[in-house]
Structure 1
Amino acid sequence: MNSKKSVQVGDIFATPLPMNKYGAVKIMNIIDRSYLLGITNYIGEQRPTIANQNVRQILITKSLLNEKEEPTFMWVDGKLPKELIYIGNIPLAQEELGIESNVFGGIWSKECGIDVYYKWREETDPQGFKIEMQKNIEESDAYARRNKLMKPKKMIDDQVFWSIISLLDWSKEGEEAIAEAAIEELSTLTVWQIRHFEEALSYKLFLLDTEEHAKEIGEYCFSNQDQQFSPDFFLYARCAVIAHGKIVFEDILSTPSKMLKDTEFEILLSLSSEAYYLKKGKEFEYESGCSYETFSNKEGWENTL
């Protein structure tokens, strides 16, 4: 159990791994209650010490996106897990300053160092590792199908979210023109704030994903007998609700019969990705805690699903 009262850049923590082994992670950056972790090379049966060279080296793994060998970093939110054990602090080297990562690991948990275990298993017992991973995937998929729970991650301040939405310019023609000012303003925020904006948007769309709202979207509304209902159009209709601001959103959320009719605003889904590209010149990669796809809100469709 850790006894660290505050987490600092450069701190190294031992992490529990399967098969009675230990790994270690290093704190590379801190923004508010979000921490950028570097997964180190250490894996062993003994708890690592600060003198071990492997806790000073970041694990290199193959990227799932481009097959390149890259250092393993990820952002996590929340409190330091009690299972992690503080072993010391190694100040960042010059080349470690300002490191960025698009990988978000969700809430900080004791499994944060698992990547080094996966690499070790793949190298020492590739066949056994393949069987183990396939079993884990099948069990996870089965659980998800039985009980799919949605929980939002860290979201941007609500006032900031709606201030961005308020910049949608309805005096212009075409969705791209309407959204231009909002995208430009969003691009001035930090990378992490753009992710938090996307999380807030996803959660609000998720809240609107109910059968009662789907029945009120106009010509292509949901009906148990009508096959014209389009899940995609319902998503774009929910986007239109949010695009019209906080008052409209809260009113319709509480009173589904007020749902906007035959109205959509698909480009709202692209605000974060467009802003991120404008800021960084890279594709936006982020998976929200709550899916905004139609039928994701299990409670909202409990009479149908």
Structure 2
Amino acid sequence: MSIIMDLFMRSQTTSKTVTDKDFWEIIDSIDHEYGGDSEAVVSSIVRHLKHCEDSYIFSFDDKLCELIYSLDGKKWAEDIFGDEEFSEDKFLSARCLAVASGMETYTKVLGHREKINTEEIHFDNGKWYGSTDGLVTAAAEAWSAKHLMSVSKYPHKPPFSIKSHSNEEMWK
């Protein structure tokens, strides 16, 4: 049975929220071979989540935002930018990449034992884009597909902000 099918079966029979184990298994389903198409890269996540309870979708979103928020700090920004000018979109793309790289890599980045790999982030038309930027909208896209409603109607707001400098304690 595929990992996505196994996750789907568990989400239907056990929990209404995403466990840490489920979260990282969902992240491991990311199809990195799509390269620059961030929506295609996370399409397996959207396909899985759209069949789950809303509470499961929302808890995935909460966990994702918490992990991205946890990397919102001065040390990680310095690792990425060095002497170059800070860019909020590049910083968010880098933090998404850290999560999308899986639990082992994320944990190393969080503990400052490894730097975020920014090779998959590109500048185009005045904006930075990463191959896993679609992560930030995956839950809303899944909810939208499930309810046949616009993404703009997504009713959930995670408790952690993914905006740069929102984790004030880490910027001191």
* TM-score greater than 0.5 by the shorter chain: yes
1:163 to 25, 28, 38: 25
The answer to whether the 8 Å contact 2:41/2:134 transfers is: no
1:222 shift after superposition: 5.6
Which structure 2 residue ranges, 5 or more long, are not aligned?
A: 1-13, 122-129
Q: Looking at secondary structure, tell me which structure has more strand per residue.
A: 1
Give the one of 98, 102, 107 matched to 1:250: 107
Instruction: Choose from 147, 161, 167 the match for 1:297.
Output: 167
Q: TM-score, normalised by structure 1?
A: 0.44
User: Which letter maps to 2:25?
Assistant: S
In structure 2, how many angstroms separate the alpha carbons of the residues matched to 1:276 and 1:163?
19
Shift of 1:249: 0.6
Taking the TM superposition and a 5 Å limit, the aligned residue runs for 1:58-73 are none
Q: Distance in 1 between matches of 2:169 and 2:39?
A: 34
Higher helix share: 2
Hey, what does 1:280 align to over in structure 2?
147
What amino acid is the match of 2:89?
Answer: D
Equivalence map 1:38-117=2 (5 Å): none
* Residues 1-305 of structure 1 mapped to structure 2, 5 A cutoff: 156-173=18-35, 174-217=37-80, 221=81, 228-255=85-112, 257-262=114-119, 263=121, 264=130, 265-282=132-149, 283-302=153-172
Count of aligned pairs between the two proteins: 144
**Distance in 2 (alpha carbons) for counterparts of 1:198 and 1:245:** 16
How well do the aligned residues superpose, as a CA RMSD in angstroms?
2.0
Q: 1:186 touches 1:272 (CA, 8 Å); kept in 2?
A: yes
Q: How big is the shift at 1:230?
A: 0.6
Q: 5+ residue gaps in structure 1?
A: 1-31, 35-154
Displacement, 1:201? 0.6
Q: Residue by residue, what CA displacement relative to the aligned partner does 1:102-141 show, whole Å, maximum 9, x if unpaired?
A: xxxxxxxxxxxxxxxxxxxxxxxxxxxxxxxxxxxxxxxx
Give, in whole Å, the separation in 1 of the partners of 2:41 and 2:162: 22
| Paired position in structure 2 for 1:9 | none
Structure 1: which amino acid aligns with 2:43?
A: E
Q: Hey, what's the Cα distance between the residues in 2 that align with 1:164 and 1:257? A: 22
Deviations 1:232-288 (A, max 9, x none): 210111001101111111111001652223433211111101110111112312211
Instruction: Indicate the larger mover: 208-217 or 282-291.
Output: 282-291
Q: Which has the higher contact order (CA 8 A, sep 6+)?
A: 2
Q: Which runs of 4+ in 1 moved over 6 A?
A: none
TM-score of the two chains, using structure 2 as the length reference? 0.76
User: Rg larger in 1 or in 2?
Assistant: 1
Amino acid at match of 1:286: H
Conserved? CA contact 2:73–2:167, under 8 Å: yes
Kept in 2: contact 1:184–1:275 (CA 8 A): yes
Distance in 2, Cα, partners of 1:257 & 1:214: 13
| Structure 1 contact 235–292 (Cα < 8 Å) conserved | yes
